[in-house]
Structure 1
């Protein structure tokens, strides 16, 4: 069958008309979608400003459906989900962004950072750790390292925490030497628990060199020296610490007293404790003085016979410095009353009343504990506990 050229004269105009109609339809549809997307976006923004998060999320979802290539809408939607506690939906939004091949490097890093925040807020620390590690070498590097440091400290992974803190220290953003010393002390405690005393001593030596002004490395070193029977070395360690960290003396006054007795250096310890007590009275320092048989003040030189003070007299002397229910209770424990049969009941009531006063309180979050913590279990802050009891604050 021969081809008839006349069909070209008919087909070409028809094809042109159909193509023109199709293009007009596409343009009209595109304009309609573009009009719908901004309207939904601004409607969502208005809801957000009016703190109507449910309506804002619905509007942003509509905008994303109309224009799925808009990254900013995805980020806004993901942040809204995270603020509302809908972490699973936030994760899906940010993982969808990361799965796109046309995402720029800046937006990819931003999505990775947002995904890590989703996992952190959801408490999925293992997945947050993996997401944060992928931010190494990006503009979010230091922020990611700080988050990783918090994760490792919370989970007590001290070796990993020490590595991250060292990187932060080397970045010159801030000094982390004291914090790194804490990590070494924590590792040393683990070595002591495992029976590796030489390894613990090596870690404490590193900690003291890293933060010579910090009290904890010296206190932990003296504790280890006492455990090894090195009383004289423990006393020397704590005596030196009394010059570099005198305000922390209440924390190690009892250890200083034990080391002095074991090393037969009671006279030196008494003189040191009396001098520091005069500068800053404390119930813990007072207890160490009494255990050594001393008093808050050195005896005055006189020819007249003076009755030797008793430990109970030291509590009365302490009350002259500051009002203390604890000191009053300790003094009353040895007092003789007319109705002696009621003394045990009264003493038990006083002891119960003074027990909360002997706690330590975190200055950052107010968490109280009978034990002194270098790392607050409540707010995870370091060195947030003053070295004094609640009564003395």
Structure 2
């Protein structure tokens, strides 16, 4: 068969025209898609600004379907799902991002951080911990460590919490010496509960060396020493507490009365309490002084005088109720009912209140059970605030 070049010459223009028409069609399609994706994106942004989150999500889903390679749309959609509490959908969005092989390193770290936030908000702490650990060495490292610290504190894993704050301190993220001392004290309480008193002593000594100005290590060390029959050492620890952290002395007032009885240092301890009470009056210091006065010869008279003197300078329903308890009324048959009513009224006034969230409790907390803040409870009763 003879090869005819005429057909080739006639076919080349036809092929060129068909190729040109196909390219124009593809270009129109691309332009249409590009117009549609921004239109859906701006529509979603408009809904978001008008606080119409449901419609915004629908618009962003449409935009993602039109342009599945746009990472910013995925991040916006995932954040919206998280804000709405749809954590499963947020997790799927961010896990889809992480599964993409073409994702840049900064966007991969950002998606990992967003995924950790999803798990945190959903309360999946074990999965959040795993996700946060993968952020070590990234630009989100500092935030991840703070989140891990919150997880370990909530789960009372003080060993892991201590390891995190040591890393943060080594990275110059702040001074966490007082926080570390709290962790050591918490661990010491656990050792005491398990009968490991020697380990508890070691932990408290480490806490004292870590934060010499913190009141908690000295106070809990004195409590443990007194419990072990080492009341002389407990008295020395209490003296150091008064010297270095006198603002926390009211928390040790009742313990000082017990130590005074055990050591016979009643006058020395009374003098120390009186000195600090005169500098800053406190209900706890006052009641400790009254308790010590009852052990002396001048007993009841001196104690009641202290209550009256306190009332002259500090209006206190608690002190008034305590004074009235030992008073003889003209109509004594009503004394019991009146006293009961006063005691009931003063109970809320003897609580401690968190300065951060206002959570009140009958006992003093170093770590607020309400807002998880440290050292947010003043060493003073509600009535004194």
Shared fold (TM-score, shorter chain, > 0.5): yes
Say which SS state the counterpart of residue 129 (structure 2) adopts.
helix
Q: Which residue of 1 aligns with 2:187?
A: 187
Deviates more, 1:61-70 or 1:80-89: 80-89
Cα distance, 1:313 vs. partner?
A: 2.3
Q: Which residue of 1 aligns with 2:378?
A: 386
C-alpha contact 1:222 1:233 (8 A) present in aligned 2:
yes
Deviations 1:146-184 (A, max 9, x none): 010011101111111111011111111210000000000
Q: Which residue of 1 aligns with 2:82?
A: 82
Q: Distance in 2 between matches of 1:224 and 1:265?
A: 19
Give the alignment of 1:271-282 within 5 angstroms. Answer: 271-282=271-282
Q: Distance in 2 between matches of 1:243 and 1:86?
A: 54
1:353 is aligned, of 312, 325, 345, to 345
- Alignment RMSD (CA, Å): 2.0
Say which SS state the counterpart of residue 355 (structure 1) adopts.
helix
Alignment coverage as a number of residue pairs: 384
Q: Specify whether residues 362 and 12 from structure 1 end up closer, same or farther in structure 2 by C-alpha distance, changes over 3 A only.
A: same
Give the alignment of 1:160-239 within 5 angstroms. Answer: 160-239=160-239
Does 2:94 align with 1:102?
Answer: no
Q: Specify whether residues 307 and 105 from structure 1 end up closer, same or farther in structure 2 by C-alpha distance, changes over 3 A only.
A: closer
Cα distance, 1:112 vs. partner?
A: 0.6
Does 2:303 align with 1:311?
Answer: yes
Cα distance, 1:260 vs. partner?
A: 2.0
Say which SS state the counterpart of residue 69 (structure 2) adopts.
coil
Cα distance, 1:4 vs. partner?
A: 4.9
Q: Specify whether residues 307 and 36 from structure 1 end up closer, same or farther in structure 2 by C-alpha distance, changes over 3 A only.
A: closer
Q: Distance in 2 between matches of 1:307 and 1:112?
A: 68
Cα distance, 1:75 vs. partner?
A: 0.9
C-alpha contact 1:232 1:260 (8 A) present in aligned 2:
no
Q: Which residue of 2 aligns with 1:39?
A: 39
Does 2:321 align with 1:329?
Answer: yes
Cα distance, 1:218 vs. partner?
A: 0.4
C-alpha contact 2:95 2:115 (8 A) present in aligned 1:
yes
Q: Distance in 2 between matches of 1:159 and 1:14?
A: 78
Cα distance, 1:292 vs. partner?
A: 1.5
Deviations 1:13-32 (A, max 9, x none): 55444433332222111111
Q: Distance in 2 between matches of 1:15 and 1:188?
A: 85
Q: Distance in 2 between matches of 1:163 and 1:263?
A: 40
Cα distance, 1:287 vs. partner?
A: 1.3
Deviations 1:350-389 (A, max 9, x none): 1110000000000000000001000000000000001000
Q: Which residue of 2 aligns with 1:376?
A: 368
Q: Specify whether residues 36 and 3 from structure 1 end up closer, same or farther in structure 2 by C-alpha distance, changes over 3 A only.
A: farther
Give the alignment of 1:145-160 within 5 angstroms. Answer: 145-160=145-160
Say which SS state the counterpart of residue 51 (structure 2) adopts.
coil
C-alpha contact 2:293 2:299 (8 A) present in aligned 1:
no
Cα distance, 1:337 vs. partner?
A: 1.7
Q: Specify whether residues 308 and 158 from structure 1 end up closer, same or farther in structure 2 by C-alpha distance, changes over 3 A only.
A: closer
Cα distance, 1:10 vs. partner?
A: 5.9
C-alpha contact 1:274 1:289 (8 A) present in aligned 2:
yes
Q: Distance in 1 between matches of 2:361 and 2:257?
A: 24
Runs of 4+ in structure 1 off by over 6 angstroms are: none
Say which SS state the counterpart of residue 131 (structure 1) adopts.
helix
Q: Specify whether residues 309 and 64 from structure 1 end up closer, same or farther in structure 2 by C-alpha distance, changes over 3 A only.
A: same
Q: Distance in 1 between matches of 2:260 and 2:80?
A: 62
Q: Which residue of 2 aligns with 1:112?
A: 112
The structure whose residues are more often helix, as a share, is 2
Q: Which residue of 2 aligns with 1:341?
A: 333
C-alpha contact 2:201 2:221 (8 A) present in aligned 1:
yes
Cα distance, 1:212 vs. partner?
A: 0.3
C-alpha contact 1:91 1:115 (8 A) present in aligned 2:
yes
Q: Specify whether residues 268 and 11 from structure 1 end up closer, same or farther in structure 2 by C-alpha distance, changes over 3 A only.
A: same
Q: Which residue of 2 aligns with 1:302?
A: none
Instruction: Output the TM-score relative to the length of structure 2.
Output: 0.95
Q: Which residue of 1 aligns with 2:359?
A: 367
C-alpha contact 1:238 1:256 (8 A) present in aligned 2:
yes
C-alpha contact 1:207 1:217 (8 A) present in aligned 2:
yes
